[in-house]
Amino acid sequence: MTQAKILVARAVFPEVIASLQAHFEVTSNQDDVVWTKAQLIEQLQGKDGALTTGSERIDADVLAACPQLKIAANMAVGYNNFDLVAMSHHGVQGTNTPDVLTDTTADFGFALMMATARRMTESEHFLRRGEWTKWRYDMFMGSDIHGATLGILGMGRIGQGIAQRGAHGFGMKVIYHNRSRLDPAAEARCQATYVSKEDLLKRADHLVLVLPYSAESHHSIGAAELAQMKPTATLVNIARGGIVDDAALAAALKARTIAAAGLDVFEGEPQVHPDLLTLPNVVLTPHIASASGPTRLAMAKLAADNLVAFFKQNAVLTPVNSVVSAIK
């Protein structure tokens, strides 16, 4: 039987490429060029499978132009770059990388919340500018984490990881809102109380967003929601750009209707709303919440394992859609 042809759409660990080469004919983009849609379509010609990242959109145009494609294995837990309806329609399997990144991403969400509340980057920039000439009692006063109310919007695996860190490590009171309420055992594990979205916005001292992006969650936090938050509150987004209306957030941060924000994801990233770049009360990181060495390697390996399982066992480990007849 001829080997399946695989496209690795972005640079990835050389050992993962080598493991794929043991099974497949592999074309890889180790130069890490970010392709246009037309270039992606061209690269996918004749390919049976692809290892993708959140930057490659697998939509109806791509699927129609690449009829040989059978699977796209995303190296990310989020898969809003996949048009799942179109993929299922074209019989294309999608997979993601859940679980392996939960703790690393929860650690980062917590760190970003702490950096935001305690004004770490703002004060570091002050120091680096050479402006630190004396100690002062009210210099860079922030807000406390311990004992504060932690609000979580989106209570999946990562949300629950953040809740547990807050409740057990820092004595925080945890409230959450989610499409569906957790079962009592999970609520007890997280020491978390289910509240309405309105209550969440009003009561949280630190609000962390961990919900998937979709048409329904687009601009879940906009001007109206920001207006309901405490003026002392912080907002952290480690979920996806587009969940927050970044222009409205910049306006709220400027007017100090909330105290500060920590953002790892942005609308239209890697572009960042220019107003956010000028504001002192926002901590900005370039979509790195899952970026510890072991976790990024585990993500790449899981994406590769999905490709191997698909072509060798006609099954995948972590599907995100159901496909009637995956092997075309």
Tell me the C-alpha distance between 325 and 265, whole Å: 35
Q: Is 139 left (phi over 0), alpha (psi -120 to 50) or beta?
A: beta
Three-state secondary-structure class, residue 70:
coil
126 Cβ neighbours under 8 A, 6+ residues apart? 132, 140
Tell me the C-alpha distance between 250 and 126, whole Å: 21
- Comparing CB distances to ligand GLV, the nearer of 44 and 76 is 76
Positions marked catalytic: 240, 269, 287
- Comparing CB distances to ligand GLV, the nearer of 84 and 223 is 84
Tell me the C-alpha distance between 229 and 322, whole Å: 39
Binding mask 287-316 for ligand GLV (x = CB under 6 A): ---x--------------------------
Find the binder of ligand GLV among 29, 43, 52, 78 (CB under 6 A): 78
Position closest to ligand GLV via CB:
78
Question: Strand 49-52 and strand 149-153: pairing?
Answer: unpaired
The minimum distance between CB 128 and ligand GLV, in angstroms, equals: 29
The minimum distance between CB 170 and ligand GLV, in angstroms, equals: 24
The minimum distance between CB 226 and ligand GLV, in angstroms, equals: 23
- Comparing CB distances to ligand GLV, the nearer of 78 and 109 is 78
The count of other CB atoms within 10 Å of the CB of residue 233 is: 25
**Termini Cα distance of the chain:** 15
| Residue 299, both tokens | 């993500």
Q: Which of 186, 117, 104 is nearest to 150 (CA)?
A: 117
Q: Please tell me the total number of residues recorded for the chain in this structure.
A: 328
Stretch that binds ligand GLV, among 37-45, 73-81, 227-235, 255-263 (CB under 6 A): 73-81
Binding mask 30-59 for ligand GLV (x = CB under 6 A): ------------------------x-----
The minimum distance between CB 300 and ligand GLV, in angstroms, equals: 11
Task: Name the β-bridge partners of 27.
Answer: 7
Q: Does 220 bind ligand GLV (CB under 6 A)?
A: no
- Comparing CB distances to ligand GLV, the nearer of 54 and 166 is 54
Tell me the C-alpha distance between 37 and 198, whole Å: 39
The minimum distance between CB 53 and ligand GLV, in angstroms, equals: 9
- Comparing CB distances to ligand GLV, the nearer of 148 and 236 is 236
The minimum distance between CB 290 and ligand GLV, in angstroms, equals: 5
- Comparing CB distances to ligand GLV, the nearer of 195 and 291 is 291
The count of other CB atoms within 10 Å of the CB of residue 312 is: 10
Neighbour-count burial of 269, counting CB atoms closer than 10 A to its CB (0-12 exposed, 13-18 middle, 19+ buried): middle
- Comparing CB distances to ligand GLV, the nearer of 211 and 229 is 211
| Residue 20, both tokens | 């794929």
Stretch that binds ligand GLV, among 33-41, 72-80, 224-232, 311-319 (CB under 6 A): 72-80
Given a contact cutoff of 8 angstroms between Cβ atoms, the answer to whether 169 and 225 are in contact is no
The DSSP secondary-structure symbol of 8 reads E
Find the binder of ligand GLV among 44, 77, 150, 244 (CB under 6 A): 77
The minimum distance between CB 228 and ligand GLV, in angstroms, equals: 27
Interface with ligand GLV (CB under 6 A):
54, 76-78, 101, 290
